[in-house]
Amino acid sequence: MKAQATSRGQRATMIEPIKVGVLGFGGLGQAAARVLAQKQQMRWVAAADHKGYACAAAGLAPDRAIATYQSQGSLGYLQEGTLSHSSIQDLIEQARVDGFFLALPNLPNTFMASVVRQFINSGWQGVLVDAMKRTSAVEQLLEMQADLAAAKITYLTGCGATPGLLTAAAALAAQSYAEILRIEITFGVGIANWEAYRATIREDIAHLPGYDVERARAMTDAEVAALLDQTNGLLALENMEHADDVLLELAGVCPRDRVTVGGVVDTRNPKKPLSTHVKVRGQTFEGKVSTHTFTLGDETSMAANVCGPAFGYLKAGVNLHRRGIYGLLSSAEVMPQFVQ
Ligand code: NAD
Q: 238 catalytic, yes or no?
A: no
Cα 310 to Cα 63: distance, rounded to the nearest angstrom: 21
- Ligand 1 within 6 A of 189 CB? no
Which numbered atom of ligand 1 lies nearest the CA of 165? 40
- Nearest alpha carbon to residue 25 among 49, 45, 8: 49
Same structural domain, 7 and 155: yes
* Best residue for ligand 1 mutational test, from 197, 221, 241, 246 (most atoms within 8 Å of Cβ): 197
Is residue 209 included in any domain, yes or no?
A: yes
Is residue 339 included in any domain, yes or no?
A: no
Same structural domain, 203 and 90: no
Is residue 340 included in any domain, yes or no?
A: no
- Ligand 1 within 6 A of 74 CB? no
Q: What would the pLDDT profile of 156-213 be if each residue is shown by its tens digit?
A: 999 999 999 999 999 999 999 999 999 999 999 999 999 999 999 999 999 999 999 9
Cα 289 to Cα 218: distance, rounded to the nearest angstrom: 46
Collapsing DSSP to helix, strand or coil, 312 comes out as helix
The CATH number that applies at residue 283 is 3.30.360.10
Is residue 101 included in any domain, yes or no?
A: yes
Is residue 123 included in any domain, yes or no?
A: yes
Please give the tally of structural domains in the chain: 2
Look at residue 252 in the predicted model and tell me its pLDDT.
Answer: 98
H or E stretch covering 321:
helix 302-322
- Ligand 1 within 6 A of 84 CB? no
What value does the mean pLDDT take over residues 11-25? 83
Same structural domain, 134 and 183: no
How many residues are listed for the chain in this entry?
340
Q: What confidence tier does 8 reach under pLDDT thresholds 50, 70, 90?
A: very low
User: Rg of the chain over CA atoms, in angstroms?
Assistant: 20
Between the CA of 283 and the centroid of ligand 1 the distance, in Å, is 39
Same structural domain, 289 and 326: no
- Ligand 1 within 6 A of 76 CB? no
Listed in order, strand segments (DSSP E) in 213-267 are: 234-237, 259-266
Q: 242 catalytic, yes or no?
A: no
> Sheet holding 153-157: strands in order across?
81-83, 52-55, 42-48, 18-23, 99-102, 126-130, 153-157, 327-330
Same structural domain, 111 and 232: no
Same structural domain, 10 and 151: yes
Whether residue 85 has pLDDT greater than 60: yes
Look at residue 190 in the predicted model and tell me its pLDDT.
Answer: 97
Q: What would the pLDDT profile of 327-338 be if each residue is shown by its tens digit?
A: 999 999 999 999
Cα 334 to Cα 321: distance, rounded to the nearest angstrom: 13
307 neighbors 27 (Cβ within 8 angstroms) = no
Amino acid at 127: V
Whether residue 12 has pLDDT greater than 70: no
Is residue 338 included in any domain, yes or no?
A: no
* Best residue for ligand 1 mutational test, from 25, 35, 50, 74 (most atoms within 8 Å of Cβ): 50
- Ligand 1 within 6 A of 328 CB? no
pTM comes to 0.95
Q: What would the pLDDT profile of 136-153 be if each residue is shown by its tens digit?
A: 999 999 999 999 999 999
Between the CA of 104 and the centroid of ligand 1 the distance, in Å, is 3
DSSP codes joined into one string, 160-197: BTTTBHHHHHHHHHGGG-SEEEEEEEEEEEE-S-GGGG
Q: What would the pLDDT profile of 235-288 be if each residue is shown by its tens digit?
A: 999 999 999 999 999 999 999 999 999 999 999 999 999 999 999 999 999 999
Look at residue 108 in the predicted model and tell me its pLDDT.
Answer: 95
Which numbered atom of ligand 1 lies nearest the CA of 133? 41
Look at residue 14 in the predicted model and tell me its pLDDT.
Answer: 55
What value does the mean pLDDT take over residues 313-317? 98
What value does the mean pLDDT take over residues 92-116? 97
Is residue 212 included in any domain, yes or no?
A: yes
Look at residue 220 in the predicted model and tell me its pLDDT.
Answer: 97
Between the CA of 132 and the centroid of ligand 1 the distance, in Å, is 9
Same structural domain, 88 and 173: no
Q: What confidence tier does 9 reach under pLDDT thresholds 50, 70, 90?
A: very low
**How many helices, marked H, and strands, marked E, lie in the chain?**
13, 13
Q: Which of 19, 51, 207, 292 is catalytic?
A: 207
167 neighbors 153 (Cβ within 8 angstroms) = no
32 neighbors 24 (Cβ within 8 angstroms) = no
The CATH number that applies at residue 22 is 3.40.50.720
The residue range of the domain holding 218 is 165-297
Q: What confidence tier does 3 reach under pLDDT thresholds 50, 70, 90?
A: very low
Same structural domain, 105 and 182: no
Beta bridge partners of 187: 263
Same structural domain, 118 and 205: no
Q: 203 catalytic, yes or no?
A: yes
Collapsing DSSP to helix, strand or coil, 148 comes out as helix
Is residue 336 included in any domain, yes or no?
A: no
DSSP codes joined into one string, 91-131: HHHH---SEEEE-----STTHHHHHHHHHHHHT--EEEEE-
What value does the mean pLDDT take over residues 14-20? 87
Side-chain half-sphere CA neighbours of 253 within 13 A:
31
Same structural domain, 204 and 71: no
Cα 124 to Cα 217: distance, rounded to the nearest angstrom: 30
Look at residue 6 in the predicted model and tell me its pLDDT.
Answer: 45
Q: What would the pLDDT profile of 217-237 be if each residue is shown by its tens digit?
A: 999 999 999 999 999 999 999
Whether residue 312 has pLDDT greater than 50: yes
Same structural domain, 6 and 119: yes
- Nearest alpha carbon to residue 301 among 164, 166, 163, 191: 191
Buried b (16+ CB within 10 A) or exposed e, 196-232: bbebbbbbbbbbbeeeebeebbebeeeebeebbeeee
* Best residue for ligand 1 mutational test, from 77, 104, 157 (most atoms within 8 Å of Cβ): 104
Between the CA of 198 and the centroid of ligand 1 the distance, in Å, is 8
Q: What would the pLDDT profile of 34-78 be if each residue is shown by its tens digit?
A: 999 999 999 999 999 999 999 999 999 999 999 999 999 999 999
Between the CA of 28 and the centroid of ligand 1 the distance, in Å, is 7
Same structural domain, 252 and 316: no
